[in-house]
Amino acid sequence: MQIKSAEFIKGAAKPVGYPPGDQPEIAFAGRSNVGKSSLINVLVNRRGLVRTSSTPGRTQMLNFFEVNQEFMLVDLPGFGFAKVPVAVKNAWGAMARTYLENRSNLKAVILLFDIRRVPRGEELQLLDWLEELNIPTIPVITKVDKISKNRRSAQIRPILEATGLPQDAFSFFSAHTREGREDVLQRIEMALSSEDQEIEEAGHDAE
């Protein structure tokens, strides 16, 4: 996929503030600091489009970015940062769940996992919700530059165990080396075109 343009549209906490859902959309979810904003910046080749590592947990909003004037990328609020007020922590679940339940133009959620952490709590909760709501999920293990390649398989074993997903379900990504950029872009492209496929299949059945 060629990235021709990327621009910030708006931030919103509630559905009334979301931009119109007239374009297919891909959302990014994961813990605070896992690298959501960095991944988006690398994907669209824009170093500063999404602000990275501002005080984790403070940006309790969904941020919408339009790419190629064709589709939207959404940076969901992070969770799991210890030093935020309880009220902010509790708001995360409602905000994420409301978005996931109501966004009919949502094509897939990219769920990020830090290669150095065992997923727990909200990460597994999110995975459950995505399954329950039938939302295609693109799991990405990020910050892979932190671990040498020959230790990778052993390192990710706890992630596979906790999520119950096989290794080949995951994309591996590093914002530093840009490893995995093409792979994630390809999966996004496939997710964006999924409706067309369904229509084709439906047409096929009718023959």
Ligand X SMILES: Nc1nc2c(ncn2[C@@H]2O[C@H](COP(=O)(O)OP(=O)(O)O)[C@@H](O)[C@H]2O)c(=O)[nH]1
41 binds Mg ion per the rule CB under 5 A: no
Shortest separation between residue 160's beta carbon and Mg ion, angstroms? 25
Which residue among 26, 32, 62, 119 contacts ligand X (CB under 6 A)? Answer: 32
The window from 7-15, 29-37, 119-127, 196-204 that contacts Mg ion (CB under 5 A) reads: 29-37
Which residue among 62, 67, 175, 184 contacts ligand X (CB under 6 A)? Answer: 175
63 binds ligand X per the rule CB under 6 A: no
Task: Please give the single-letter amino acid code of residue 199.
Answer: I
55 binds ligand X per the rule CB under 6 A: no
174 binds, among ligand X, Mg ion, none (CB under 5 to 8 A by kind): ligand X
Which residue among 78, 80, 119, 139 contacts ligand X (CB under 6 A)? Answer: 78
37 binds ligand X per the rule CB under 6 A: yes
Pick between residue 51 and residue 195 the one whose CB is nearest to ligand X. 51
Place of tokens 């119109």: 20
Query: How far does Cα 79 stand from its chain's mean position?
Result: 13
By Cβ distance, which residue is nearest to Mg ion? 37
For the chain, state the CA radius of gyration: 17
- Rounded distance between C-alpha atoms, residue 34 and residue 131, angstroms: 21
37 binds Mg ion per the rule CB under 5 A: yes
Pick between residue 178 and residue 193 the one whose CB is nearest to ligand X. 178
Shortest separation between residue 1's beta carbon and ligand X, angstroms? 20
List residues binding Mg ion (CB under 5 A).
Answer: 36-37
Residues engaged in binding ligand X (CB under 6 A): 30, 32-38, 52-53, 56, 78, 142-143, 145-146, 174-176
